[in-house]
Structure 1
Amino acid sequence: MTVRSAWLLPLTQTREDTRLTPVGTFAPESEMRTRDGVIAGGNPFAATSAGAMSLQIGAGRALVQGTDAQGAYPVSVDAPAVLTFTDGEAQFARIDSVALRVYDQLFDQAGQNLATVEIIRGTGSATPTAPSMPSACLRLWDVTVPAGASAGVGGIPWSSALGDRRRFTSAYGGIIPRGYGLAFNGAYDGQYRDNGAGLERWDAAAGTWEAYPPTPARPLMTSQLAEPTISQTGTFVDFTAAAWPRITFTVPPSGAVFVTIGGQVSNKSTSASTAWMSWRATGAYTEAHGAPNGLSSQASRVIASRRVYRGGLTPGGQVTIIPGWNMSSNSGTEVFVRDGQLSVEFVQ
């Protein structure tokens, strides 16, 4: 097993070191910091039991961030490494962490230049927690070491002791793969990540990850519950809220919606008699009942729907859509407005 790091003194970096270490990976985390993490591909740094108290860490590549002044170290492990854990504490369990660590004598007190896979030992406790990571250290796995664990008494129960803490990184502009933990902020507006179920985009202004593409809002819909009493003629009349509920909505960021109205209208009073079903808008956007948004029949019965686009609305504004009707006369046969449906669809 060889652990390689590019750009680390002494100046003996080989061409092989350069080929194997991921020097092109650079997902920013701030002005001067790079998001450290594992490079996806296969099952990098896989953990498998190698004995009662021993764990094998597989090959893989990663980026390890030090302090801002240090920068980020490209690291590769080209063959499996076997690590042996010290025996458990007498009274309490503890959590140890397996990590990639870079020692750089220009920035630390260890007096060496070296990249390693090593165990960062935790502290025994009734409620143990994983140890804090030193600088230039990338956590890969947490291992719960039971109290009294040793090779002679069964060792570490690997099937339940391992906690996968590998987080992933990518090149600048790339999509950060799903890994351990989603509780991190984006570094810049428009950054993407995979949350395991789909893509998310970082909205810097809102300070949140948002589904990408945005989840379409379901249409809002109401249905006519009762026919109006045709007591007025020649004018548009609002349905009561009980007879046909209104729709109130918040204008989406696009400032655009589709409004659809449909049903049956009929008026056979005379050859010139008309029947209308329409809607009007009030609130942050206003529009009257009429031909631009209604459907009609003349001396007949019509079953139809009408879908219209309305753009240029103020995003965030509240708008109410109110259905209505109009009869030119009501002295003949089949004078009605019935089976109405009204819907609002949001344009993304």
Structure 2
Amino acid sequence: MPTDPLWLPTLSYDETELRKMDSMLVMADGTAMGSRPGVRPGDAGLTVTLSGTTVNVSTGAAALYRSGQGVYRAQIPASTAGTLAAADGTYTRIDLVYLRVWDTAVDSTGLRKADVVLLTGTPGAAPAAPTPGATEIYVPLATITVPPTGSGGTGSATVSTAVRQITVAPGGILPVSSTADIAASGTYTGQARYNTVRGCPEYWNGSAWLAQGDSTTYVPTFTSLGGGASIGNGTITSRWTRIGNQVQWSGSFTIGSTTNAGTGLWFISMPTAQASGFTRLGSLNYISGGNNYVGLISCNPSDGGKAALIAKSSFSTVSFDNVSGTVPVTSTTGNQILWNVSYEGA
């Protein structure tokens, strides 16, 4: 960078560049330089209420965004009011209330200000909220459903804030409740949000929103000590979750007609590496016909990421043995193994 002080006064930004810099103030929308518009969570500003046919919008502020123009910060300093148009005689309509910014660089109006708009919709058998003009820079605040005169007309109109969007600063925890927001992907791994429908915080892991305790499907690999084991047309599946280093893992294995028992004791692969230290034991049931052989699943760090299966091998004794193609009974189509274990992850 030049050090000559005579150069510094020539450095300047226009309003568009400054608005683009304001993208640092608002959470991203997943596009380059894009920002999520909306009002602040917990902010009662720009609230839309209805009194008879009068629509009131309270004072407040919001962030608006237009691609190529950056972030607009706008505020309405005093409550504003509008009047609903007369109801249709036959059909329902949906009106839209939104905050608009005028920018002559975009709309060539010669104006630079913000206002609130009540845009009347078109009545119909399946009405939809109207869309503002293509050059308008706006953020929706609410919709108003106006039934036909035979159903009470504007006197029974109702306000919905489902279209009202919330935004937070980068790194902030966004509360989400709308179907669209809940379905939206995160913009970066580690992003946090609060799902008000589930009532818990969730985090974007790069492919899905997960809360602590949410389970992930894992299909284990089936092997035997002496080799030759294969799942064939049997089924094996499991689910696991991890909170900190604590891993909870449960699953089921059903023997099929082409399952090969191999030789020696059976192993199933674990969903994530185990910490070094001591063996963790969990519960296991081996179900054959009407018989249920209780047992253990053994997660031993020395087994290299595999869990061994142990079951009671006799009804009449307390003896236990390693599960294999012949223990506790000869493997038969339909035999099922269920397990559940907690262990410390690496």
Fold match (TM-score > 0.5):
yes
For residues 223-250 of structure 1, the C-alpha deviation after alignment (integer angstroms, 9 at most, x for no partner) is xxxxxxxxxxxxxxxxxxxxxxxx9654
> Do the aligned partners of residues 26 and 59 (structure 1) sit closer, same or farther apart at CA in structure 2, a change above 3 Å counting?
same
Query: Is the CA contact (8 Å cut-off) linking 1:257 and 1:309 kept in structure 2?
Result: no
Higher RCO (Cα < 8 Å, 6 or more apart): 1
Query: Is the CA contact (8 Å cut-off) linking 2:147 and 2:153 kept in structure 1?
Result: no
> Do the aligned partners of residues 47 and 179 (structure 1) sit closer, same or farther apart at CA in structure 2, a change above 3 Å counting?
farther
After the TM superposition, which residues 178-197 of structure 1 pair with which residues of structure 2 at under 5 Å, given as runs? 178=176, 180-181=178-179, 182=181, 183-196=183-196, 197=199
Partner of 1:62: 62
Partner of 2:74: 75
Query: Is the CA contact (8 Å cut-off) linking 1:166 and 1:180 kept in structure 2?
Result: no
What residue identity is the alignment partner of 1:198?
Answer: C
For residues 16-67 of structure 1, the C-alpha deviation after alignment (integer angstroms, 9 at most, x for no partner) is xxxxxx99731011212110011123423222223x211111222211112x
Deviation at 1:172, TM superposition (A): 0.7
Gapped regions of structure 1 (runs ≥ 5): 1-6, 10-21, 218-246, 261-278, 286-290, 295-304, 328-333
> Do the aligned partners of residues 325 and 148 (structure 1) sit closer, same or farther apart at CA in structure 2, a change above 3 Å counting?
closer
Deviation at 1:177, TM superposition (A): 2.1
> Do the aligned partners of residues 115 and 324 (structure 1) sit closer, same or farther apart at CA in structure 2, a change above 3 Å counting?
same
Q: Aligned pair 1:99/2:98, yes or no?
A: yes
> Do the aligned partners of residues 142 and 312 (structure 1) sit closer, same or farther apart at CA in structure 2, a change above 3 Å counting?
farther
Q: How many residues align?
A: 253
What residue identity is the alignment partner of 1:145?
Answer: V
Q: Aligned pair 1:323/2:297, yes or no?
A: no
Q: 2:33 & 2:97 partners in 1: Cα distance?
A: 26
> Do the aligned partners of residues 57 and 118 (structure 1) sit closer, same or farther apart at CA in structure 2, a change above 3 Å counting?
same
Q: Output the TM-score relative to the length of structure 1.
A: 0.58
Deviation at 1:83, TM superposition (A): 1.8
> Do the aligned partners of residues 125 and 335 (structure 1) sit closer, same or farther apart at CA in structure 2, a change above 3 Å counting?
closer
Identity percentage over the alignment? Answer: 22
After the TM superposition, which residues 60-209 of structure 1 pair with which residues of structure 2 at under 5 Å, given as runs? 60-66=60-66, 68-134=67-133, 135-148=136-149, 155-158=154-157, 160-178=158-176, 180-181=178-179, 182=181, 183-196=183-196, 197-204=199-206, 206=207, 208=208
> Do the aligned partners of residues 180 and 45 (structure 1) sit closer, same or farther apart at CA in structure 2, a change above 3 Å counting?
farther
Where is the helix percentage greater, Structure 1 or Structure 2?
2
Q: 1:45 & 1:311 partners in 2: Cα distance?
A: 62
Q: 1:202 & 1:31 partners in 2: Cα distance?
A: 19
* SS of 2:123 mapped into structure 1: coil
What residue identity is the alignment partner of 2:60?
Answer: G
Deviation at 1:313, TM superposition (A): 6.3
- Which of 304, 318, 326 is the matching residue for 1:336? 318
After the TM superposition, which residues 157-306 of structure 1 pair with which residues of structure 2 at under 5 Å, given as runs? 157-158=156-157, 160-178=158-176, 180-181=178-179, 182=181, 183-196=183-196, 197-204=199-206, 206=207, 208=208, 210-215=209-214, 250=238, 252=240, 281-284=266-269
Q: 1:125 & 1:311 partners in 2: Cα distance?
A: 70
* SS of 1:155 mapped into structure 2: helix
Q: 1:31 & 1:165 partners in 2: Cα distance?
A: 24
* SS of 1:37 mapped into structure 2: coil
For residues 271-322 of structure 1, the C-alpha deviation after alignment (integer angstroms, 9 at most, x for no partner) is xxxxxxxx9652446xxxxx9789xxxxxxxxxx9975649966xxxx7753
Gapped regions of structure 2 (runs ≥ 5): 1-13, 17-21, 217-234, 251-263, 271-277, 282-295, 321-337
What residue identity is the alignment partner of 2:267?
Answer: T
> Do the aligned partners of residues 156 and 149 (structure 1) sit closer, same or farther apart at CA in structure 2, a change above 3 Å counting?
farther
> Do the aligned partners of residues 215 and 89 (structure 1) sit closer, same or farther apart at CA in structure 2, a change above 3 Å counting?
same
What residue identity is the alignment partner of 1:58?
Answer: S
Mean alpha-carbon deviation: is it higher for 74-83 or for 97-106? 74-83
Q: Aligned pair 1:37/2:19, yes or no?
A: no
* SS of 2:318 mapped into structure 1: strand
Query: Is the CA contact (8 Å cut-off) linking 1:56 and 1:81 kept in structure 2?
Result: yes
What residue identity is the alignment partner of 1:137?
Answer: Y
Q: 1:48 & 1:119 partners in 2: Cα distance?
A: 12
Q: Output the TM-score relative to the length of structure 2.
A: 0.58
Deviation at 1:132, TM superposition (A): 2.3
* SS of 2:39 mapped into structure 1: strand
Query: Is the CA contact (8 Å cut-off) linking 1:257 and 1:310 kept in structure 2?
Result: no
Could you say what the CA RMSD is over the residues aligned between the two structures, in angstroms?
4.5
